[in-house]
């Protein structure tokens, strides 16, 4: 791809702009960047000429962003962060045989994937991993990621989704909370505190429907935006939770959580590995996909 040099921004100039915007002062920006105030002012002026718009306005003893500056600042910060990330990754992988960047669901990554990564690294020595958390689909064009682990439908723009496994959830709670139930049947949960996952507000209602029940409290209760927070809330005795069993193996083994009823439910979504079209032939990515498929077969419930 041929780029116009006139349109390629100078990183040093963008740093001066971001720093001046953050401090509201060219003088403070110059101090942070170890430059003179006139040098920062000149860089800002050059950027304004290049863009064709004023980026700052003077208000009393401060400079404040203009409307054009307000629009530009988030993009500049994103570009600077990407530039820094590029250099850090390059420096990290200099001595590595291969590198692999993986986008992963936060709780899946911390509770299931990370404890198993030593096995992958032992099989593929010299590989450097970069694990980032993503709860929702994102654009591979905007982020330098080799593959993602996705929960949902097998739909992702400009990428290929490969099925890993379905998800099976079970109702759990702290032993003390379970002892308070009048009877050990699903109807006993009517009126009990339920823990809700904000990203899946119908989970409890669907579980009740699968049991042939229509209870009014299926949508009520404390809400959390990640499974990890729901798990901790359940351990603390805040309520009953619906959780994938593979995420709570330690809590079940230690007795901090217990299964309320042996009535699992397969959710409507599944787990997939997602690879951008341009990186399908990446050897490290291919090796990881083979490895995780084997791990899933051994650990997660069969379909």
Task: Dump pLDDT digits (tens) for 2-42.
Answer: 545 666 778 889 999 999 999 999 999 999 999 999 999 99
pLDDT band at 114 (very low <50, low <70, confident <90, very high): very high
Helix/strand/coil for 6: coil
Domain with residue 121: its CATH number is 3.40.190.10
Count of the separate structural domains present in the chain: 3
CA dist 298 → 245, 292, 295 (Å): 14, 10, 5
Asked whether residue 157 is domain-assigned, the answer is: no
Whether residues 185 and 147 share a domain: the answer is: no
Angle made by CA atoms 124, 125, 129, in degrees to the nearest 5: 80
Whether residues 52 and 186 share a domain: the answer is: no
Whether residues 133 and 119 share a domain: the answer is: yes
Whether residues 224 and 294 share a domain: the answer is: no
Whether residues 103 and 124 share a domain: the answer is: yes
pLDDT exceeds cutoff 60 at 1: no
Whether residues 105 and 87 share a domain: the answer is: no
Structural domain boundaries enclosing 208 = 166-268
Q: Measured between alpha carbons, how far is 267 from 282 in angstroms, rounded to an integer?
A: 32
pLDDT at position 7: 67
Asked whether residue 292 is domain-assigned, the answer is: yes
Whether residues 78 and 114 share a domain: the answer is: no
Angle made by CA atoms 96, 97, 99, in degrees to the nearest 5: 70
Asked whether residue 21 is domain-assigned, the answer is: yes
Whether residues 264 and 207 share a domain: the answer is: yes
Whether residues 110 and 67 share a domain: the answer is: no
Domain boundary among the residues 77, 92, 107 is at: 92
Task: Dump pLDDT digits (tens) for 164-188.
Answer: 999 999 999 999 999 999 888 898 8
Whether residues 177 and 238 share a domain: the answer is: yes
Whether residues 88 and 109 share a domain: the answer is: no
Task: Dump pLDDT digits (tens) for 228-265.
Answer: 999 999 999 999 999 999 899 899 999 999 999 999 99
Strand intervals (E) in 55-173: 56-59, 62-65, 98-104, 127-133, 147-152, 159-173
Asked whether residue 158 is domain-assigned, the answer is: no
Whether residues 145 and 284 share a domain: the answer is: yes
pLDDT at position 2: 53
Angle made by CA atoms 56, 58, 63, in degrees to the nearest 5: 60
Asked whether residue 225 is domain-assigned, the answer is: yes
């Amino acid at each position: 791809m041929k780029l116009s040099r006139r349109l390629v921004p100078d990183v040093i100039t963008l740093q001066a702009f971001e720093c001046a915007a953050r401090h509201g002062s060219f003088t403070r920006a110059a101090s942070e960047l170890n430059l003179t105030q006139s040098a920062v002012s000149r860089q800002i002026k050059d950027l304004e000429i290049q863009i064709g718009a004023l980026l700052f306005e003077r208000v009393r003893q401060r400079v404040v962003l203009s409307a054009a500056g307000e629009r530009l600042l988030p993009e500049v910060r994103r570009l600077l962060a990407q530039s820094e990330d590029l250099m850090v990754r390059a420096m990290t992988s200099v001595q590595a045989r291969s590198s692999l960047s993986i986008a992963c669901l936060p709780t899946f990554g911390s509770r299931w994937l990370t404890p198993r990564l030593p096995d992958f690294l032992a099989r593929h020595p010299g590989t450097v991993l970069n694990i980032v958390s993503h709860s929702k689909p994102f654009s591979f064009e905007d982020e330098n990621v080799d593959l993602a682990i996705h929960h949902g439908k097998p739909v992702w723009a400009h990428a290929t989704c490969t099925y890993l496994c379905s998800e099976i959830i079970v109702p759990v709670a702290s032993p003390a909370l379970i002892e308070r139930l009048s009877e050990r049947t699903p109807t006993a949960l009517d009126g009990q505190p339920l823990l809700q996952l904000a990203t899946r507000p119908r989970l409890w209602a669907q579980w009740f429907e699968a049991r042939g029940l229509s209870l009014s409290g299926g949508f009520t209760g404390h809400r959390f935006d990640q499974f990890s927070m729901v798990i901790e809330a359940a351990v603390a005795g805040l309520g009953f939770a619906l959780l994938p069993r593979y995420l709570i193996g330690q809590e079940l083994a230690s007795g901090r959580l217990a299964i309320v009823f042996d009535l699992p439910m397969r959710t409507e979504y599944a787990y997939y590995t997602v690879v951008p079209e341009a990186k399908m032939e990446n050897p490290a990515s291919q090796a990881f996909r083979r490895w995780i498929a084997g791990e899933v077969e051994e650990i997660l419930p069969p379909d």
